[in-house]
Amino acid sequence: MMSINRRFSVAIRYAGIIHCMSINDGAFDRDLSSDDFFANPYPIYQKLRENAPVYWSNVWNAWLLTRYDDIAAHLRQPLVFSSHGRVGALLDELPEPARSQVGLLRQHYSVGITHSDPPDHTRLRALVSKSFTPVMIESLRPKVAALTERLIAQALSNSPQPFDFMAEIAYPLPAIVIAEMLGAPADDHHLLRKWAVDVNNLHARASRPDPDVILATQAGLADFRAYLADLIAQHRRHPQNDVLSAMIAARDLGDALSEDELISTCVTLFVAGHETTTHALTNGLLTLLRHPEQLQLLRERPNLIPAAFEELLRYDTSVQRSSRRITQDCVIDGRNLRAGQKIIGLLGAANRDPAHFADPNQLDVTRKANKHIAFGFGVHFCLGAPLARLEAPLVLAALLAHCPNLKRDVSRPLHWRHDVALRGLDALWLYA
């Protein structure tokens, strides 16, 4: 056995029969598919962490990890807990004839920065990260600040009527920014939004895949890829000062992104570059409105806003899970896991682990040493984290400055998405 940590070891050779069920398996599945879970998953995460920290879920068809250390440990081992083949394994669960009709999905998710392991991932990240340097991200600050001011002014133009923060600000700002970064017309961000929803629907369900949803995802992805192929061709003919042109031109020791790698990575950047930030902003603002003393502290000390965003990510992150495919039989905390099974690290649970965070269920915008893993961990740490860390504090600071009496329109109930991958609302209506 290869030791990973005290509770966590990989069985390089495991000869006996592996039993993946115990008397506790299935005990929490009703909770994990309930309306209460989507409204507030954290009490259920706590019960899992305290009673079944390594849990086989029949509903999710996966092992669930809820302790920070276990999640960090498995994300450090990409060759044992692989990003490659995750979607292929999901598609294998489809009944016929749908299983034979998803060739495009198999092709798309077989390559790209999110769906590869070292050494391919190392090569791809080296090429793509050249376009996401701190200097480049910081150079966007004036443009993002101006866009923030424009969107807030538009949202407040009908005051005292309420406005939907998500639709008016939290969605368009990161969508426009990432579209322009990648060389797409800003006016196309509505198209990109539709395709992002199509792509994310593939991962939103906890249960086994629905053929109709999967085929709809493939149809949206086909349109998305066609759009990107045309955009790439344009940029090859007429290079511009944007990320897409930089990725096309990127070379590392003579190597370059293949066409499939380029398209797959662009899809990832478009989707992750706005959808996650949209929900992080919306969840974060709702959290502040539910903690008025913390909101008032930020009004009095706006210099705390960047650190406060980190605490908001820890407290209620938009990306709730990180899924991997097990490549070798292994043992975690005495539980036997089989090669070929899926394992999910519940990032939201890790960020509330009392072994790493004092009073984890308390929001504290002055929290120090906040080593949350809302952006992931290990080799797949979010490439766009610096962009989110630029955008979100600018939005929060400007909104608090322009809206001294900000409050939620409580006449409109909150509707949480039934999505196990991205935690977010359908809308957040506010009075300025």
For residues 300 and 247, the model is more confident at: 300
Q: Tell me: pLDDT of 17 over 70.
A: no
Residues 6+ apart with CB under 8 A from 194: 220
pLDDT tens-digit series, residues 123-147: 889 888 887 888 889 999 999 999 9
- Residue type (1 letter), 33: S
What is the model's pTM?
0.91
CATH of residue 301's domain is 1.10.630.10
Rg (CA), the chain: 22
* Residue range 183-197: mean pLDDT, rounded: 87
- Give the span between the Cα atoms of 36 and 100, in whole angstroms: 36
Say which DSSP state 168 is in.
Answer: I
Give the pLDDT of residue 22. Answer: 43
**What confidence score (pLDDT) does residue 431 get?**
97
Residues 170, 141: contact at Cβ < 8 Å? no
Q: Which helix (H) or strand (E) segment is 147 a member of?
A: helix 141-155
Is the pLDDT score of 314 beyond 50?
yes
Mean pLDDT of the chain: 90
pLDDT over 60 at 25, yes or no = no
9 pLDDT tier (thresholds 50, 70, 90):
very low
Domain extent, residue 388, equals 2-431
Contacts of 91 (CB under 8 A, 6+ apart): 99, 102, 105, 106, 209, 214
Structural domains of the chain, count: 1
What is the arithmetic mean of pLDDT over 287-311? Answer: 98
